[in-house]
């Protein structure tokens, strides 16, 4: 292969079961040919997944709003989204 498959995972686990939950938070290029992938595990992963589910519910509810309510709701949801830690997938 022409790419590295090394993974610098920070804290290592004795068994992957210890991670409890696993959530991709972000992926970005940090240098030519080098990508940074950020995951969280355990309670942080569970919180990110729960936040995503809750936010998806709010989006679904916004679909039914009247035009007069929609603009302010979209603004509010946009601000909320910027502050959330959600799964990237």
Q: Could you report the per-residue pLDDT of 11-56, keeping only the tens digit for each? A: 667 777 888 888 888 888 888 888 888 888 889 999 999 999 999 9
Instruction: Quick: pLDDT tens for 53-89.
Output: 999 999 999 999 999 999 999 999 999 999 988 877 6
> pLDDT at position 3, please?
54
Both tokens of 82, joined, read 């910027």
DSSP codes joined into one string, 5-68: -----SS--SSGGGG--EEEEEEEEEETTEEEEEEEEHHHHHHHHHHHHHHHHHHHHHTT--HH
């Amino acid at each position: 292969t022409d790419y590295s498959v090394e993974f610098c995972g920070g804290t290592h686990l004795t068994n992957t079961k210890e991670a409890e939950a696993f959530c991709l938070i972000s992926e970005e290029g940090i240098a030519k040919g080098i990508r940074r992938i950020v995951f969280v595990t355990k309670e942080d992963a569970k919180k990110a997944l729960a936040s995503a589910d809750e936010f998806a519910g709010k989006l679904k509810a916004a679909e039914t709003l009247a035009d007069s309510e929609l603009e302010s709701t979209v603004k509010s949801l946009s601000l909320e989204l910027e502050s959330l830690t959600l799964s990237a997938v």
